[in-house]
Amino acid sequence: MELYVERGFEQTTVAEIAQRAGLTARTFFRYFADKREVLFAGSDSLQEHVIGALDAASDSASPMKAVSAALDAAAAVLGERREYARQRQSVIAANAELRERELIKMASLSDALAGGLRRRGVSDANANLAAEAGVAVFRVAFGRWVSEPGDRDLSEIMRESLNQLKALTAAG
């Protein structure tokens, strides 16, 4: 991350990353498919954590309440690493290929949430809508969290963003 921030993503090579980490390039490739994966390596783990929280939500929880529990889990995982998240987001924002990759990861998270909701008995249309709304709330809250000054808790911003969505839909 330091190299990406210092030099930019495009100018940073795998050899430089490996050297900074005290590894060989060969060892680097045992852990990462390419230099992009350094930025996205935790995505699968985050998704598993989020889906675990969705699955653990009360059987009586509405689809959006279950998604809210999943968002709380995401905030708990990500909320501990704000400075890293800020740096990571600045690197991604500066590169179109990385922004595209981030969108793909968000689409994957939405698909996983929708699948989890369908396992809970939610219809396809409602599962897709709730999952997409949840990812939208996640993206808006995360964006605010990494860009706003201060030290507000990510879970607080997630809940605030979810409440804003509720207010917008109630007003319509």
Query: Is residue 117 located within the same domain as residue 66?
Result: yes
The tally of CA atoms less than 13 A away on the side-chain side of residue 156 is 5
In the chain, how many domains are there?
A: 2
Output the pTM of the full model: 0.89
Whether 135 contacts 113, CB under 8 Å: yes
Query: Is residue 152 located within the same domain as residue 72?
Result: yes
Query: Is residue 79 located within the same domain as residue 145?
Result: yes
Which pLDDT score, from 0 to 100, does residue 172 have? 60
Domain of 29? 1-39
Mean pLDDT, range 92-105, rounded to an integer: 95
More confident residue, 120 or 169: 120
pLDDT tens by residue, 110-138: 999 999 999 999 999 999 999 999 999 99
Query: Is residue 68 located within the same domain as residue 91?
Result: yes
- The CA angle 147-35-94, to the nearest 5 degrees, is 35
- The CA angle 128-130-40, to the nearest 5 degrees, is 80
> CATH number, domain at 35?
1.10.10.60
Q: In the chain, what percentage of residues exceed pLDDT 90?
A: 83
90: amino acid identity, one letter: S
User: Residue 165 pLDDT more than 80?
Assistant: yes
On average, the pLDDT of the chain sits at 93
> CATH number, domain at 128?
1.10.357.10
Q: How confident is the model at residue 155 (pLDDT cuts 50, 70, 90)?
A: very high
pLDDT tens by residue, 20-64: 999 999 999 999 999 999 999 888 899 999 999 999 999 999 999
Mean pLDDT, range 80-102, rounded to an integer: 93
Distance, in Å, from the CA atom of 124 to the CA atom of 143, rounded to the nearest integer, reads 28
SS3 content of the chain, % helix, strand, coil (to 5): 75, 0, 25
CA dihedral for 59, 62, 66, 69, sign (positive or negative): negative
User: Residue 79 pLDDT more than 80?
Assistant: yes
Whether 74 contacts 50, CB under 8 Å: yes
Query: Is residue 62 located within the same domain as residue 6?
Result: no
Query: Is residue 117 located within the same domain as residue 50?
Result: yes
- The CA angle 74-78-79, to the nearest 5 degrees, is 105
Query: Is residue 24 located within the same domain as residue 54?
Result: no
